[in-house]
Amino acid sequence: MRTHRWGCLAMVAGLAATPAFARDHLAPDNGSVGGGQVGRASWYGREHAGHRTASGEAYDPEGLTAAHRTLPLGTVIEVSAHGQLVKVRVNDRGPFVKGRVLDLSAAAARVLGMDRTGTAMVRIRPTGAVCPANRPCDPETQVATAEAP
């Protein structure tokens, strides 16, 4: 019981710190220009549908989600490529292929026009929003909404 209470407290504290951590985490470095992160992204398709992600939810190829190695789960990021922009929620860990910084869902890859090429150079920028797993989110802002009574 006591451990459970501390776990809940740690989770709430983590969610409160997530936007600041994500913003600082993707500060400019050698692979980025003007903030955010730049690198090669890939996407994973329907063969992974239903598999559990690191956040505990089932992977949905039609959801706007992504896998990142270090960003806190639930962080909403803007991903741009080929002149297109999409907001996705980090709900998994990866990619585990050298030289890649992000794995996108099939739906997000379609929005960015990389569903035929398989990979693309992308720019990743955290929005400061957090949308925890298994909570309803506003589709436009990807921010958690209050559940209906």
Which CATH number fits the domain that encloses residue 68? 2.40.40.10
80 falls within a domain: yes
* 113 assigned to some structural domain: yes
Residue 43 structural domain: 2-130
In a domain, 145, yes or no: no
Residue 133: its pLDDT value, please?
A: 74
Q: Is residue 141 part of a domain?
A: no
**How many CB atoms sit inside 10 A of residue 132's CB?**
16
Determine, yes or no, domain membership for 98. Answer: yes
Task: Examine residue 65 and state whether it is found in any structural domain, yes or no.
Answer: yes
Within 10 angstroms of residue 58's Cβ, the number of other Cβ atoms is: 14
Residue count of the chain, please give it: 149
Residue 136 lies in a domain: no
- Provide the residue-wise pLDDT of the chain in tens; the chain has 149 residues: 444 444 443 444 444 444 444 444 444 444 443 468 999 999 988 888 989 999 999 999 999 999 999 999 999 999 999 999 999 999 999 999 999 999 999 999 999 999 889 999 999 999 988 887 766 666 555 555 444 44
CA dihedral 110, 114, 120, 124 (to 10 degrees): -10
Is position 89 within any domain? yes
Distances in Å between the Cα of 6 and the Cα atoms of 1, 13, 54, 56, 149 are 9, 10, 21, 20, 28
| Residue-level pLDDT at 136 | 63
| pLDDT score for 143 | 53
pTM score, two decimals?
0.72
Task: Look at residue 56 in the predicted model and tell me its pLDDT.
Answer: 92
DSSP single-letter state for residue 48: G
CB 102 within 8 A of CB 41: yes
For 30-45, the pLDDT digits (tens) are 444 346 899 999 998 8
